[in-house]
Structure 1
Amino acid sequence: MPIRIPDALPATQALERENIFVMTEYRALHQDIRPLRVLILNLMPTKIATETQIMRKLSNTPLQIEVELLRTVSHEATHVSEDHLETFYRTFEEVEHEHFDGLIITGAPVEQLDFEDVDYWPELQRIMDWSVENVHSTLHICWGAQAGLYHHYGINKHELPAKLSGVYEHYLVKRSSPLVRGFDDRFYAVHSRYTEVRASDVEACGELEVVAASEVAGLYIVKSVDSRQFFVFGHPEYDTDTLRLEYERDVKRGIDPQVPANYFPGDDPAREPLNTWCSQAQLLYTNWLNYYVYQTTPYDIRLAGRIARAKAGLV
């Protein structure tokens, strides 16, 4: 949350130069406040685990948030009951005439397929097109980030020689970005994927900028210059044991997976993993909500998405 200080306090300019959000008394007194509406498009097969993980990150903030869950109807979910979906999830047809402050598009275990070969790709394209005018800010996670870059900017993914799985050290490329406010110079983040987006492709696009990356894991955070689209190629929502469960699942399938890097002490799967990414993961979600949703979304929810497009000369 911002700090509220007197309008003419000398510290105001110094704090603003450091990208610390300061709210003057005038703005605080004239501020309209309402709950934020956040829509989660959950593409993961483990829907209950994923929705719990993401809501845990969204809840650790003083902001009041109304969360809606969205599913695709062009893909039959097999790891969750239809009763759960019918009770707690909505379809695109049910929300397409509504507006949201934020949208989160999760990852999905379909990286090794071409985007056009994913059975719900046409439906996902409709949702991403709709979000441009009906959502103020969108956060894409892992495969969702790759799908978003491909759909909005034509940047394709590339298959890796082997699955990238583990906890990797990262560095800040754009230190001044409020999205990484409070991050250490070097921090750890989880990756679990078979494909990557190359930094050179992102850097060649004038509408995007890299915020954080890793010497080993590659890109971690990319954002649009207009600060409406965010792409995170790791899994900041993962619990301590999520990578272990994935590893054990792959072992049972006979895939002979590599042990997740820098995850088990001594790289020994018999030992309890250590969580070294939780603090930055929480900051990522909190900063996105605070700086790129709460502080900039219009009070009239019906204008979400449209104001930003109007400023960019797109409407």
Structure 2
Amino acid sequence: MEHIKIGILNLMQNKLETMANFKIALGDEVELKFYYSATRYVDRNLDEHITENMQPLDLNEIKDLDGFIITGSPVEKLDFPQVSYFDEINELLDLLDQINIPQLYVCWGAMAALNRLYNIDKKILPHKAFGIFQNQILKNSLLLENISDNFPAPHARYAEMNHEQIINNPELKVEAISENGLLTLIESNKKNQTFIFSHLEYQKDGLDKEYHRELNSPKIKHPLPALNYYSSLDHKPMFSWRQTQRNFYQNWLQTVSSHKLTTC
């Protein structure tokens, strides 16, 4: 594979774990550059392990990258303008849309991008979608090569985007949905933009850690454990999406490599 350099804006609360997740999911053959929000942490101190491995977002560096990922963020319940780094995200989205390098938007990152770039509305779900769900492939995609229909993938979110608006937008195509009717994968028909609502980057214990963070949070009442995740034999997490993770991220990296070759 062509040497490629991927930028990742890490908006997750557990930044070091998220960084490790993407390093595993994307493999050792690519160069990764991790960023955190520059505006979110103007007056706040970050763990030195974060500042040693990540840097504040610098839009001037984006043009030197071959692809870009915006992660999820635990802010789905907020209206977009209520998010403290809302303006910074929009500037980044506008720039990525303009230069059109391959973009991968994950969970809340996908929500923010669909809203900004395609005016798709967000809605809060009646309850959190949390667990391992089967996902139906609706349309063929290079990103889903070597991935079987009804593939398992972790979902963990409190919000969803407006399905009708997406279906009626000729620039977007829904390629996979979960067994409970939630969005899994969307691509743009014209741009190098992918929107994934599953946390395929999570490693085996990711949902378990998220559940225990919520158990210890005074802001979340009565959190429930992830569905279809714990073994009925020993009640430990099962890594049923491991191969799907590997294939999906390798497929996406191949699109980045192919795009680089066509633009050199």
CA contact (8 A) 1:46 1:80 kept: no
Deviates more, 1:249-258 or 1:216-225: 249-258
Q: Give the equivalent residue in structure 2 for 1:225.
A: 189
1:87–1:249 Cα change, 3 Å? closer
Q: Give the equivalent residue in structure 2 for 1:10.
A: none
Identity rate, percent: 31
Task: Tell me the TM-score normalised to structure 1 length.
Answer: 0.77
1:160–1:97 Cα change, 3 Å? closer
Task: Tell me the TM-score normalised to structure 2 length.
Answer: 0.91
Q: Give the equivalent residue in structure 1 for 2:148.
A: 184
Q: Give the equivalent residue in structure 1 for 2:18.
A: 50
Root mean square deviation of aligned Cα: 2.2
Matched, 1:99 2:69: no
CA contact (8 A) 2:16 2:50 kept: no
Q: Once the two structures are superposed, what CA deviation does each residue of 1:158-214 show, in whole Å capped at 9, x if it has no partner?
A: 10011110000111011x311100011221110000001132221111100011112
The runs of 5 or more residues in structure 2 that have no matched partner are: none
Matched, 1:156 2:124: no
CA contact (8 A) 2:135 2:151 kept: yes
Q: Once the two structures are superposed, what CA deviation does each residue of 1:27-71 show, in whole Å capped at 9, x if it has no partner?
A: xxxxxx5x21110110011111001101111116xxx42211111
CA distance, structure 2, for counterparts of residue 236 and residue 98 of structure 1: 27
1:242–1:217 Cα change, 3 Å? farther
Q: Give the equivalent residue in structure 2 for 1:125.
A: 90
Number of residue pairs aligned between Structure 1 and Structure 2: 261
Please state how far the C-alpha of 1:259 moved relative to its aligned partner: 2.2
CA distance, structure 2, for counterparts of residue 41 and residue 217 of structure 1: 28
Q: How does 1:69-84 map to 2 (within 5 A)?
A: 69-76=34-41, 80-81=46-47, 83-84=48-49
CA contact (8 A) 2:124 2:159 kept: yes
CA distance, structure 1, for counterparts of residue 73 and residue 32 of structure 2: 20
CA distance, structure 2, for counterparts of residue 182 and residue 299 of structure 1: 24
The structure whose Rg is larger is 1
Deviates more, 1:106-115 or 1:217-226: 217-226
CA distance, structure 2, for counterparts of residue 284 and residue 150 of structure 1: 24
CA distance, structure 1, for counterparts of residue 30 and residue 174 of structure 2: 28
Whichever residue aligns with residue 177 of structure 2, its letter is: A
Whichever residue aligns with residue 159 of structure 2, its letter is: T
CA distance, structure 2, for counterparts of residue 157 and residue 203 of structure 1: 14
The runs of 5 or more residues in structure 1 that have no matched partner are: 2-32, 302-315
CA contact (8 A) 1:191 1:217 kept: no
CA distance, structure 1, for counterparts of residue 41 and residue 173 of structure 2: 36
